[in-house]
């Protein structure tokens, strides 16, 4: 059988040789070249794509608006009385002996300026005063001699008048030198910043080595133990006649709360924020309400009727606050601008833009797009 194998191969070669002549190969060449192209086009043909499943979202039903809205605003705790302290002279700040949070006593030195110039002025004023006193003593002795010689006719009347004039001029120069000495002494004392009363340092605005101008704030001092809640509001008319007291609670721990009374309303709006500053005096504030703590100020019956939604539902459209509303029929998202009247640590208060009973998306709003089809996921109250 092994000996017949080469004969079979030769037979096959001889049978196929007439099929692969030069003329036949030239005729089959276009077909061979087009075959891979056809296979490639068949492989790249359109395939039916499966539609993506709707994205599941978490929603909440918009509640009915409150019959009597409650004003809620976030603010911070400030001292009831604050004093901004600065030097009365220009100069370079040499030392600052206090920092934020330090308790100071009345008369305590808070900082000093370089005083070499003021010290030189004081020394010069002292020297001028010594010279003026010596000139006054000499003029007084000369006047006394002239007065004794005048009755005997030893001197003329004009000499006595001149001696009296010299003494008066010397006395005036001495008084001027005393005033200059007092001024120089005060200028030297002004290089020391002294606390006018006891209190707590709430802010420092200059560092040693810095050149400060006269009146520039260096230290802010809270001089009383009272506390105020400070808020910025867009409508000060709601506080002109408050129906009741304020309720102030810590933003980090709402269980810590205290009542407050309206202290004052800024008569002019801030030039940048266009809001009015309102200060509420706290009644016996707890120690947890330290200076600078964030608080929430509430006043019942002062705001419009509002709908409370989770803060996680809030997004933006064209710089305005908005929320995603799920259309009940098409299950598509609608991006609705809303009007906010306030917010808390976990909720937003909406007065317009949505209707009660509509489902609002409360999670993952940054990844959603208007018109996207969604599926009902976990719903909240």
Taken in order of first residue, the domains within the chain and their CATH numbers are: 5-43 (no CATH), 56-67+306-380 (2.40.420.20), 72-79+225-303 (2.40.30.170), 82-113+194-221 (2.40.50.100), 116-189 (1.10.287.470)
pLDDT of residue 194: 94
Distance CA 178, CA 25 (A): 128
**Mean pLDDT confidence for 334-357:** 81
Cβ neighbors of 242 (< 8 A, separation 6 or more) are 262, 299, 302
pLDDT at 11: 63
Tokens at 132, concatenated: 């003026």
Pairing relationship of beta strands 199-204 and 55-61 according to DSSP bridges: unpaired
- % residues pLDDT > 90 (the chain): 32
In this structure, the strands spanning 55-61 and 374-380 are parallel
Q: Are residues 353 and 334 in contact, defined by beta-carbon separation less than 8 angstroms?
A: no
From residue 20, alpha-carbon distances to 7, 23, 24, 29 in Å are 20, 8, 6, 11
Share of the chain above pLDDT 70, in %: 79
Considering only CA atoms, give the Rg of the chain: 46
Q: Is the pLDDT of residue 184 over 90?
A: yes
Buried b (16+ CB within 10 A) or exposed e, 347-363: bbbbbebbeeebbbbbb
Task: Say which residue the tokens 């006043």 belong to.
Answer: 299
Q: How far apart are CA 307 and CA 348, in angstroms?
A: 8
Q: Which residue has the higher pLDDT, 107 or 63?
A: 107
Quick one: pLDDT band at residue 40, thresholds 50, 70, 90? low
pLDDT in tens, 78-120: 988 889 999 999 999 999 999 998 999 999 999 999 999 999 9
The mean pLDDT value for 236-260 works out to 79
Question: What value does the mean pLDDT take over residues 312-319?
Answer: 84
The per-residue pLDDT for range 163-172, each reduced to its tens digit, is 999 999 999 9
Looking at residue 381, its pLDDT comes to 47
> How far is the C-alpha of 129 from the C-alpha of 135, rounded, in Å?
10
Q: What is the pLDDT of residue 191?
A: 94
**Could you tell me if 232 and 85 are in contact, meaning their C-beta atoms sit under 8 angstroms apart?**
no
Structure tokens at 261: 């009374």
């Amino acid at each position: 059988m092994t000996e017949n194998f080469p004969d079979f191969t030769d037979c096959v070669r001889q049978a196929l040789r007439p099929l692969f002549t030069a003329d036949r190969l030239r005729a089959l060449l276009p077909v061979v070249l087009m075959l891979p192209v056809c296979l490639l086009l068949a492989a790249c043909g359109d395939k039916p794509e499966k539609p993506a499943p709707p994205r599941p979202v978490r929603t909440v039903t918009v509640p009915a608006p409150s019959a009597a809205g409650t004003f809620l605003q976030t603010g911070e705790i400030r001292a009831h009385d604050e004093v901004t302290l600065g030097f009365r002279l220009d100069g370079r700040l040499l030392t600052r002996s206090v920092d934020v949070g330090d308790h100071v006593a009345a008369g305590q030195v808070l900082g000093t300026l370089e005083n070499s110039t003021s010290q030189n002025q004081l020394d010069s004023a002292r020297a001028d005063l010594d010279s003026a006193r010596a000139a006054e003593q000499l003029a007084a002795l000369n006047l006394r001699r002239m007065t004794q010689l005048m009755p005997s006719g030893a001197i003329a009347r004009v000499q006595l008048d001149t001696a009296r004039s010299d003494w008066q001029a010397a006395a005036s120069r001495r008084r001027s030198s005393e005033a200059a000495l007092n001024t120089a002494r005060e200028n030297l004392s002004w290089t020391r910043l002294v606390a006018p009363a006891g209190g707590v340092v709430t802010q420092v605005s200059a560092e040693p080595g810095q050149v400060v101008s006269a009146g520039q704030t260096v230290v802010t001092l809270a001089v009383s133990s009272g506390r105020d809640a400070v808020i910025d509001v867009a409508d000060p008319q709601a506080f002109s006649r408050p129906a009741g007291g304020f309720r102030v609670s810590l933003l980090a721990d709402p269980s810590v709360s205290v009542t407050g009374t309206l202290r004052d309303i800024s008569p002019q709006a801030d030039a940048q924020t266009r809001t009015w500053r309102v200060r509420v005096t706290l009644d016996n504030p707890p120690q947890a309400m330290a200076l600078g703590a964030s608080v929430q100020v509430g006043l019942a019956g002062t705001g419009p009727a509002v709908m409370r939604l989770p803060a996680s539902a809030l997004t933006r459209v064209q710089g305005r606050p908005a929320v995603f509303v799920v259309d009940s029929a098409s299950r598509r998202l609608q991006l609705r601008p809303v009007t906010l009247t306030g917010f808390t640590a976990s909720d937003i208060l909406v007065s317009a833009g949505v209707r009660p009973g509509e489902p609002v998306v409360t999670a993952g709003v940054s990844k959603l797009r208007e018109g996207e089809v969604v599926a009902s996921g976990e719903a909240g109250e």
